[in-house]
Amino acid sequence: MASLVLTAIGDDRSGLVSALAGVVTEYGGNWERSQMAELAGKFAGIVLVRIPDDRVDDFTAALEPLSGVLDVEVHVGGDQIDDAQHFSLHLLGNDRPGIVRELSSVLAEHGINIDELNTETWEAPMAGGVLFEADAMLEAPADLDEATLRTALEQLANELMVEIELDR
């Protein structure tokens, strides 16, 4: 079975997931993992599917009629690191430009891959401003020095004046 990653985007409306799932099923595929969201009237998703090797070309061609309603790109899936360490990270603080850039830079300096990142801002009337919140699932090299990472994140939290929690 071929491991394929599908990226999909289109104007949000009902039936988009059903249309994509129908093509996967029609070609003997298995829908294994996905993340989908609606943002500002657009639907976006990323889906990991497994398709029989001899049906990949036909499957890819069958996605073409969805174009215009849901634009889907097909990418060959990669391998995951088996001996990686996994962490969850939570950040909360006053919103300001550059938080994601600064956080992702610290993580990249330590060889950490961001598997999932969800961010949100909202008005905090009691605090008198806009709050920024981020939740991330991280994949780190097996030889990562966790103490060094925690020190770097504490330093970043102090610079940005935010709270950062790192859990296993």
pLDDT in tens, 131-158: 999 999 999 999 999 999 999 999 999 9
Round to the nearest angstrom and report the end-to-end CA distance of the chain.
32
CATH classification of 2-76 is 3.30.70.260, yes or no?
yes
Q: Write down the domain spans for the chain.
A: 2-76, 85-167
- H-only helix segments in the chain: 16-26, 56-62, 99-109, 146-160
**pLDDT over 90 percentage in the chain:** 90
> What is the number of other CB atoms lying within 10 angstroms of the CB of residue 111?
12
Phi, psi (deg, nearest 5) at residue 2 = -85, 135
Same CATH topology for 2-76 and 85-167? yes
Span 85-167: which CATH code?
Answer: 3.30.70.260
Residue type, 1: M
- Nearest Cα residue to 117 out of 90, 80, 83, 146: 90
**13 touches 66 (CB < 8 A):** no
pLDDT of residue 42: 96
Decide if pLDDT at 80 tops 80: no
